[in-house]
Amino acid sequence: MQVRFASERPQGAYALALLVSKVEGDDPRLPSGSPAGLIDASAQQQRFDGEAAGIAEMFLGEENGARRVLLIGLGKEAATGALYEKIGGTLAARLLCSGETSLVIDLSGLGLDGDAAARVALGAALRSWRHDAYRTTLKAKQRPTLTEVVVVGGSADAEILWQARYAPVVAGVSFARDLVTEPANVIYPVSFVDRCRSLADLGVEIEILEPEEMKRLGMNSLLAVAQGSAQPARLLAMHWNGAKDAGDDARTVAFVGKGVTFDTGGISIKPAAGMEAMKWDMGGAAAVAGAMTVLAMRKAKANVIGVCTLAENMPSGTAQRPGDVVTSMSGQTIEVINTDAEGRMVLCDAMTWVQQKHEPEIMIDLATLTGAMIISLGHEYAGVFCNDDALAAQIDAAGKASGDSTWRLPLGEAYDRLIDSPIADMKNSGPREGGSITAASFLGRYVEEGVKWAHIDIAGMVWANKAAPLWDKGATGYGVRLIDQLVEDLFEV
């Protein structure tokens, strides 16, 4: 999707969208000669009265034919950045396969600043993402036709904001969506790493640990998850040193993403129905990779380490078994109760590694960790568990600002005791009740003293079974904007 900004409408064929608070048939932005009565009647018949992101569509005659015109509502309350994104996304969804190739969104006369104009374009670009690589028999009417969005009448800094702030977001979210959408025979630990190697061209330093090195370091928990698969595990670390000029005063934040590229459950195998969805069990790693793309493209003034724990959880004669005991890199021992509780086992070694080697001030992990989180919060929020109230508040604020919504849940000694093991330091799975909390408690045992830590369970957020203003059914790219916003809030304000 090409995005352009202009001071006036172009010539030629395009669909025209006008942002309105109410229907006014004599709006000077409408094509000249448009009959006011017809416009009013058309909007009324579509039950459109300017409600937020509501649409009335009509064809109006012009000198050389007819033009598709869409009135889209600004609502009755003060418009927000999120509404401008929703407006852009709603328009793109309406026209993506409509036969129109160009959409002009005219903001003239509304007095909108550059950020509002850029966020209209952002919404349109995010909603236009598609993954049609394997769809070879689409009918003509099912194929996207919209290739260009032109935003007219925003302030002069809209283009600057777009290039510096929002085009990188589109690139990062799209990258994450691509990774999540690809099937497991295409994206597996080694190919995930290969996809991320291009970040080196943006100035990201790439570090890769292979099984031999992980074994030497004692990452037996991560390797135990991978041992049933023919696909070897990888640990991918991406370093963005955007605050290197700060010298010894530069703080570091680490983001650790769960990257189980396919999760059968292992020996504790999942039911067959719906198992194909487990290709997106690497959504946390995809979010981290996408966010590193954004940070590098916009040259974020922060030092960030993104770690992806990459493994495939398969049942085989070499797979770990319920009842096995493994020693993690930290030296703590784990009794494997359920091999389908594998995400915490790949994360804990990566958390130990990044703390020992890089000593981050803040460490945040993102993982599609528990089905219990979907039961608790549905598909509206990711769950946050945190050992620092200020950090939890900052994550909440970043979620509100980015649209990647979060909700904090509790931790505590009573929950932590539920994963005590009679023969090891801990069990990898507790009782059914409080399942998301005990999973977070497991990870909390790997946080070193003085490190501010948050665990974000994104199980209900990385994949959508219904379309929304900023995505179609499928991969959402959740987590990319949250990380990007959080880095900006923590280090760049």
Q: Which domains does the chain have, with CATH numbers?
A: 2-153 (3.40.220.10), 166-491 (3.40.630.10)
439: CB partners within 8 A, 6+ apart? 341, 343, 344, 369, 370, 372, 430, 457
The active-site residue out of 29, 86, 258, 344 is 344
Could you give the angle at the alpha carbon of 380 between the alpha carbons of 374 and 386, nearest 5°? Answer: 75
What CA–CA distances, in Å, run from 218 to 327, 365, 464? 8, 20, 37
pLDDT at position 13: 93
Coil, strand or helix at 426: strand
Residue numbers in the chain where pLDDT is lower than 70: 245-250
Q: What pLDDT digit, counting tens, does each position of 449-481 carry?
A: 999 999 999 999 999 999 999 999 999 999 999
Could you give the angle at the alpha carbon of 435 between the alpha carbons of 263 and 483, nearest 5°? Answer: 70
Angle, in degrees to the nearest 10, between helices 114-127 and 167-181: 20
Q: How far is the C-alpha of 172 from the C-alpha of 340, rounded, in Å?
A: 30
Q: Among candidates 338, 179, 195, 327, which has minimal Cα distance to 264? A: 338
pLDDT at position 35: 84
- Residue 156's Cβ-side half-sphere holds a number of Cα atoms within 13 Å equal to 0
Residue for token pair 């960030």: 304
Query: Which class for 244: exposed (0-12), middle (13-18), buried (19 or more C-beta within 10 A)?
Result: exposed
The active-site residue out of 4, 9, 270, 445 is 270
Q: How far is the C-alpha of 380 from the C-alpha of 363, rounded, in Å?
A: 24
**270 given a catalytic annotation:** yes
Q: Which two tokens stand for residue 445?
A: 């045992």
Q: Which two tokens stand for residue 272?
A: 């067959």
What CA–CA distances, in Å, run from 302 to 286, 305, 398, 400, 426? 20, 10, 16, 21, 36
pLDDT at position 247: 56
**165 given a catalytic annotation:** no
Q: How far is the C-alpha of 471 from the C-alpha of 260, rounded, in Å?
A: 23
Phi/psi for 312 (5° steps) reads -120, 130
